[in-house]
Structure 1
Amino acid sequence: MSKLEHLEIDSKGAKWLMSNIGKYRINSLKHLRLNYSWQSEDENLYSFLHTIPNLQILKVSFWGIREFVPSGNNAPKQRLGSVLLVKEFTLEWCYELEDIGFERDPALQRSLHRLVLNSCDKLIRLAHSSVSFTHLTYLQVSFCRELKTLVTCSTAKSLVHLTTIKVSHCDKLNEIVTNDEGSDKEIKIVFAKLITIEFEGLRNLTSFCSHRCCEFSVPLLEKLILKGCPNMKTFTAKLITTPKLPSVLVGERDEEKRYWEGDLDAPMLPSVLVGERDEEKRYWEGDLNATVQMVFADKVDLELSKYPELKQVWCDQTLGQVNRFQNVKSLVVKRCDYLVHVIPSHLLHCFKNLENLKVSDCDGVQVIFNMEGNSNKMTKAMAISRLKTLSLENLPNLEHVWNTNPKGIIHFEALQSLSVDRCDSLEYVFPSSMAKDLALLNNLSIKNCEKVVKIFAEDKTISELEDTAIMIVFDSLSTLYLMGVPLLKYFYPGQHNLQFPKLTTLNIEAYKWMILNCQEAETFVDQQIIVPLEQVNLLFHGLEKLSFYMKGAMLTWELKSRILEFGYSSQEVLFEEKLKPDYIELLSRLKGLRILSLFRLKSIGLENSWIHPILDIIQTLEVKWCYDIKNLVPSKVSFSSLTKLVVHYCSGLLYLFTSSTAESLTQLKEMIISNCLSMQEIISKEDDESKESNESIIFEQLEILHLEGLPMLRWFYSGKRTLRFPSLQELTMFKIWRMTTFCPHIHINLDSVKLRSGRSYKAYAVQWEDNVDTTIRKMKDKIVRLLSF
């Protein structure tokens, strides 16, 4: 022990060492790391350190410590051995640390060369204004969430040997050097040896020092990095000289996401933090303050609500704004209730490189682009022409996207996506003259706008309203969404023919079909109609998906796969009444049927005889999130073409189907039943089923059977008819707690089956035994053992 130089020890070991310090001297110890637990007591820590006379490097990880150098009644009555002359001091993961207490140990102040603080969440200040770090060369502070300032001017003046300062991810830090309380005297601070400054992820940092009486000189500064400091407007309030600084390296804060898939061979690891490398740029405008101001003006992404000081810039037309926002590519305007015009006329010329504009939750906004006033600045050379995406959401008083004809100042040759949602005062979106400019428009979505009458409004200045019909082609439009627009009367004015050669997804109310390829109608046809398939294919050659409402349900029609999806309805019975011939014609062409999120559905209505011919051609059936459904299919219903059946989260089902329906499933290849909490069996025997029946139920083509999350399931089938699965290759069972046998009255031979207890749930996996019942019992025994453990 007397020759030990490097020691890493936990709280129990430290307590033992403290109690035996007289027996085991550690006079040669130079490097000590203490890893303390939350429950550890700290009153003897500081005294213990004074028993190590040659300690130079100290690292403390002490979750529960509140003070490093004790104060008041907690201060040690006597110090054993020498003074503490640590040169390198690290405090990390000291989540309860509120005060380090440097002012209570002058020797420690003088000895420190390197100081690192990490994850000291409750630390409010680094040091009292009386503290002097005359030998400190390296200072690093990170993840100190409550820290608002770093040092006072008095302490900063003592940092004559500081070469490097790094500060990162301190959420409340608004400046590095702050004024001494009550002092207004002129002061000059010289960081004579400072070479490197790095600030990262300081979202509230506004300046290095805002004190107007404090002048700075950093004669050797060569490297200054500002990453993720969006609110920094100037470096210092007064002059700062940096003769060797060539430029400032600036980057936006990295976008970070957390991932966890349950296994990285690290049982205590909560997640993995992954970040993309941000784009960095170098700036220099002759001096440091001018450069920082230029960085602010050169922002690529600007969220207006984060800069309240820009309110005057937006609202005062007398202010000159030459090139201030010339590099902004993305502008987000959210909850800025003072705005009437999102981009006022005196700022139009500033956003010529704008690519993405999102406006939301602004009650006062009436116009997006104000074209009135300061017309001398609005020339084609300064046009907004690079806009790619425009999103307008929850703007209750929006009346116009632009209040007069853009006349080439704003045009949409580059526009790819336009989304308008909950803009209840808007009556139209485009002037008709703009239709020819929308060659790149890929997505058009107009939703929940109760006063929208037209998408394109009349433009009296052009000759498009003559008697001759014109051709309008939307070459790139692939997705069109027109929902919640009850007053929508027409898409485009006058006589015209519309073409959508690339349209793949159409979402529209059924009775609005007429607007897409006819003239303005004088009256509404207030009834639900279905356009024949031939007409749909004629209008939209590449259409893959069509969505509309029918009888209160959202229908999505996948044309190529011929699948019809019913979703989000309050209906209790889906096919209660016989449908019109148009609807029956539609259903007779289907290959698949999906029923999703009909939360009040009690019956699909398949007992109606008019729908039975349709069931014989259905190849896939999916029923999901229908919590109240009591009966999936009635007895005697046939699914002679069904190849895939999926039932998911149908909590009211007691069984899936009867034995007579099971007989018809000769083409079924895949059956997936999951999270049906009340299901007791898959196949229910019928009352008239003969006890002596020798007729087999044969799942001739079934290859995959997946049963999961069925806690009440007791067996697959309780009758005495023979079940056969000649093609079954994969059987998955997981969370089947009550099942002890596959069929209680018959033996099932599944020689070719690969039994799995549940995909990635390795803990419950078992090997296949001679038969399914033996394997089920083995799996159940393993689950019981694991749960007991």
Structure 2
Amino acid sequence: MVQLKHFHVVECKVVEEIVLMENLGEEEITPKVLFPRLECLKLNDLPMLKRFCIGSNINFPSLTVLHIEKCPILKSFIASSGIMVRQEIKEMDIDDHTAMHPLFNEEVAFPSLGVLEISYMDNLQIIWPNDFAVDSFCKLEIMKVEFCEKLISIFQSNILTRFQSLETLTLTNCGLLQEVFELQGLDFKETHAVTTIQLKVLLLINLPKMKHVWNKDPQGFFSFQHLEVINAVGCHNLKSLFPASMAKSLMQLENLGIFDCGLEEIVAGEEGEKAIARFRFPQVTVLLLIDLPGLKWFYPGVHTSEWPMLREMCMFGCEKVETLASGLSSFQETLQEGQLNISIQQPFFLVEEAVFPNLETLRLMNNQSIKEIWHGKLLGECFCKLKVLEVIICSNKSFSLSSFLQKLDSLEKLVLINSFLEEIFTYEEILQLGKHARILTQLKELKLSQLPMLTHLWKEDIEPSSIFQNLETLELSQCGKLKALVPSAVSFQNLTNMEVSECHGLIYLVTSTAAKSLVQLKKLSVSGCKRIIEIVASEGGEVNDVINFCKLAYLKLENLPNLTNFCSGSYSFEFPSLEEVIVEQCPEMKIFSHGVKSTPKLQRVKTTDEDEWHGKLDLNTTVHLVWEYTMTMPFVQSNVYIMYFTHFQYKYFLASTKS
């Protein structure tokens, strides 16, 4: 066993002890080395295991990985022998049900241990003793504790100095855990050298009773300045994350994510603090605040915060946040105007200068109480690089994005979902900007969904905007009052993908003039629009007027009960790149269009999920055969819009057209 490097004991239902030690009655003075070359030890699913062994002064000199899982009655890894005999230890096992035993004690040393994983230890209450063997746990870098329902604490202040090498700490599903770092016993009056903990990643998941990560400000005793990633999930009793002094020292923090927690503030207020608190997070790139119904502000006192490297920010389900950001001077002016603190909701961020100069993605979801995104004069500077804006479930009717959008010169993607917005832009403000106003000139992707009050994307009598010139993707769904997409004068010269669904106010999709600008369109999908009669509306064009969808490869028309054809006018259409057409549940569509000239690449016309037409039929013939067969089938009622073709029936129709 001297050469053993990996030792795994798994699913042994009756094992009570791993190693049976000899000479129990003798006190060990010199360290006893077990498995001198052992590097990895795993104990898994051992329901009767009480201990690894009995002994004293035992050393595992080479052990780097220790994994203990599903050992529910394991009390101490090494049971101290002293002068007791084995029978006395057995009696202690039987009688001692209530005493709290640390999993590790001073009788065992792990001088090389780098990874410790403990999970499904149903009766574990304490991990560490008040004292350690010399050099034990000094090299521990990764620690994971999961599903230890009775565990009440992780680190006490008197042992924390031993864990200076710890870099990753993961705590998951420990139902009674109330704090991670128990510092209440520290005497802050004593002068003391600051101990730097190397912790970089802290993951706290499903800890419903946890009240504090640090139950006292570690300032003056411990520094956690190397933290890079902090994620807290399902910590419903947690009211704040950081003590104020600690938040000011997080110079390496890169990722902060808080999900489904009871937080009221990110940084706890300092007692007696009257000066303006200043927070700077120079390395944070991602800030995710999701499902935090009690969150009110970043810090309860007057403060400023700077986020120079922040690239992605998401706020989801933070109903008590009314204003995302405001300039500090603007907020102070509001207070000086006689409005009491009690009657005013502090913005989540208070800033003095351009604090989001690199922010590229901003997602605001389920923030039903947000009245405005920004209050102040620094808007253009603070969001100068914003590329993606998603606003979801903002049902407050007074909510307005117009002034905010006008400042976003770099915006490439705009998503608005589930709002009572009647218009995206306040056109009175646009008119004041003059004829040459340039709004969202870089926008490439526009997605609008569940906007039941929206009547138009752009007003007919307002001069066409550059907003649509670079648009590549347009997706609209459940916008019931939308009568027309855009005026005829609007050009979609760079649009490649258009998807429209459940917009029941539409009679047609685009005018013939707008259709001529769709020279880059590759995919077109229209579905579930009950009133739509045609896709391209005629504007009186002549027979020789040609509309060329030169790059359209995919066309889908589905569940359009009133659609009669692609276009009722006399235009000629060319589809040189069209490869796939899907026509489903369009019972009034007798032919595709009167003026289809060519579809040289068309390989497939689909009418249901099962039917694929691979023949060389043209679009008009195919669509008409589908309509004719549907109308003649005795079991198809007028209110059922289903087209069904078996393989045999398809062959029959194909043969009849050739004859």
- What is the TM-score with the length of structure 2 in the denominator? 0.61
Describe how 1:328-477 pairs up with structure 2 within 5 A: 328-339=386-397, 343-344=401-402, 346-362=403-419, 364-373=420-429, 375-377=431-433, 380-403=436-459, 405-434=461-490, 437-456=491-510, 472-477=516-521
User: How far, CA to CA, are the matches of 1:585 and 1:401 in structure 2?
Assistant: 32
Residue aligning to 1:225: 283
Residue aligning to 1:94: 146
Q: SS at 1:411's partner residue?
A: helix
Aligned: 1:118 with 2:170: yes
User: How far, CA to CA, are the matches of 1:407 and 1:87 in structure 2?
Assistant: 70
Aligned: 1:37 with 2:69: yes
Instruction: Say if 1:111 and 1:135, in contact at 8 Å, map to a contact too.
Output: no
Residues 609, 201 of structure 1: CA spacing in aligned structure 2 closer, same or farther, 3 A cutoff?
A: closer
User: How far, CA to CA, are the matches of 1:453 and 1:602 in structure 2?
Assistant: 27
Describe how 1:69-218 pairs up with structure 2 within 5 A: 70=126, 86-88=137-139, 91-96=143-148, 99=151, 101=153, 107-109=158-160, 111-115=162-166, 116-122=168-174, 123-132=177-186, 135-146=195-206, 151-152=213-214, 154-160=216-222, 164-171=226-233, 178=242, 197-204=252-259, 209-213=267-271
Residues 100, 226 of structure 1: CA spacing in aligned structure 2 closer, same or farther, 3 A cutoff?
A: farther
The one of 525, 543, 551 aligned to 1:481: 525
Deviations 1:95-119 (Å, cap 9, x if unpaired)?
325645368x664245443445224
Q: SS at 2:415's partner residue?
A: strand
Percent of residue pairs bearing the same amino acid type: 14
Instruction: Say if 1:391 and 1:418, in contact at 8 Å, map to a contact too.
Output: yes
Residue aligning to 1:546: 581
Describe how 1:520-559 pairs up with structure 2 within 5 A: 539-549=574-584, 552=587
The one of 475, 491, 511 aligned to 2:564: 511
Residues 389, 166 of structure 1: CA spacing in aligned structure 2 closer, same or farther, 3 A cutoff?
A: closer
Residues 517, 98 of structure 1: CA spacing in aligned structure 2 closer, same or farther, 3 A cutoff?
A: farther
Amino acid at match of 1:401: L
Instruction: Say if 1:506 and 1:547, in contact at 8 Å, map to a contact too.
Output: yes
Amino acid at match of 1:326: C
Deviations 1:133-187 (Å, cap 9, x if unpaired)?
96453234433213577644734124345553344333357887556xxxxxxx9
Amino acid at match of 1:443: N
Residue aligning to 1:567: 608
Q: Indicate the RMSD between aligned Cα atoms, in angstroms.
A: 5.5
Q: SS at 1:347's partner residue?
A: helix
User: How far, CA to CA, are the matches of 2:578 and 2:586 in structure 1?
Assistant: 23
Deviation at 1:414, TM superposition (A): 0.5
The one of 344, 361, 371 aligned to 1:301: 361
Residues 61, 558 of structure 1: CA spacing in aligned structure 2 closer, same or farther, 3 A cutoff?
A: farther
Deviation at 1:328, TM superposition (A): 2.1
User: How far, CA to CA, are the matches of 2:136 and 2:518 in structure 1?
Assistant: 76
Residues 409, 227 of structure 1: CA spacing in aligned structure 2 closer, same or farther, 3 A cutoff?
A: same
Deviation at 1:229, TM superposition (A): 1.6
Residues 53, 248 of structure 1: CA spacing in aligned structure 2 closer, same or farther, 3 A cutoff?
A: farther
User: How far, CA to CA, are the matches of 2:103 and 2:623 in structure 1?
Assistant: 88
What are the ranges of 5 or more consecutive residues in structure 2 without an aligned counterpart?
1-30, 78-100, 187-191, 291-295, 315-348, 593-597, 614-618, 627-639
Residue aligning to 1:65: 121
Q: SS at 1:154's partner residue?
A: coil
Residues 482, 607 of structure 1: CA spacing in aligned structure 2 closer, same or farther, 3 A cutoff?
A: closer
User: How far, CA to CA, are the matches of 2:386 and 2:651 in structure 1?
Assistant: 63
Residues 456, 371 of structure 1: CA spacing in aligned structure 2 closer, same or farther, 3 A cutoff?
A: farther
Deviation at 1:3, TM superposition (A): 4.3
Deviation at 1:332, TM superposition (A): 1.7
Residue aligning to 2:83: none
The one of 588, 604, 619 aligned to 2:646: 604
What are the ranges of 5 or more consecutive residues in structure 1 without an aligned counterpart?
180-186, 255-288, 459-463, 465-469, 519-534, 575-580, 589-597, 618-789
Amino acid at match of 2:159: L
User: How far, CA to CA, are the matches of 2:231 and 2:222 in structure 1?
Assistant: 26
Residue aligning to 1:499: 547
Describe how 1:221-370 pairs up with structure 2 within 5 A: 224-231=282-289, 249-252=309-312, 294-296=354-356, 298-305=358-365, 310-313=370-373, 321-339=379-397, 343-344=401-402, 346-362=403-419, 364-370=420-426
- What is the TM-score with the length of structure 1 in the denominator? 0.52
User: How far, CA to CA, are the matches of 2:501 and 2:131 in structure 1?
Assistant: 76
Deviation at 1:475, TM superposition (A): 2.3
Q: SS at 1:49's partner residue?
A: coil
How many residues were matched structurally?
A: 509
User: How far, CA to CA, are the matches of 2:408 and 2:372 in structure 1?
Assistant: 17
Instruction: Say if 2:49 and 2:74, in contact at 8 Å, map to a contact too.
Output: no
Deviation at 1:60, TM superposition (A): 3.5
User: How far, CA to CA, are the matches of 2:576 and 2:364 in structure 1?
Assistant: 43
Residue aligning to 1:50: 105
Residues 354, 347 of structure 1: CA spacing in aligned structure 2 closer, same or farther, 3 A cutoff?
A: same
Structure with the greater alpha carbon radius of gyration: 1
Instruction: Say if 2:537 and 2:567, in contact at 8 Å, map to a contact too.
Output: no
Instruction: Say if 1:393 and 1:423, in contact at 8 Å, map to a contact too.
Output: yes
Amino acid at match of 1:21: G
Deviation at 1:130, TM superposition (A): 0.7
Instruction: Say if 1:506 and 1:545, in contact at 8 Å, map to a contact too.
Output: yes
User: How far, CA to CA, are the matches of 1:52 and 1:480 in structure 2?
Assistant: 72
Amino acid at match of 2:608: G
Instruction: Say if 2:116 and 2:144, in contact at 8 Å, map to a contact too.
Output: yes
Instruction: Say if 2:411 and 2:442, in contact at 8 Å, map to a contact too.
Output: yes
Residues 95, 228 of structure 1: CA spacing in aligned structure 2 closer, same or farther, 3 A cutoff?
A: farther
Deviation at 1:211, TM superposition (A): 1.0
Deviation at 1:430, TM superposition (A): 0.9
Deviation at 1:126, TM superposition (A): 0.7
Instruction: Say if 2:73 and 2:122, in contact at 8 Å, map to a contact too.
Output: no
User: How far, CA to CA, are the matches of 1:62 and 1:608 in structure 2?
Assistant: 64
User: How far, CA to CA, are the matches of 2:184 and 2:554 in structure 1?
Assistant: 69
Deviation at 1:485, TM superposition (A): 4.8
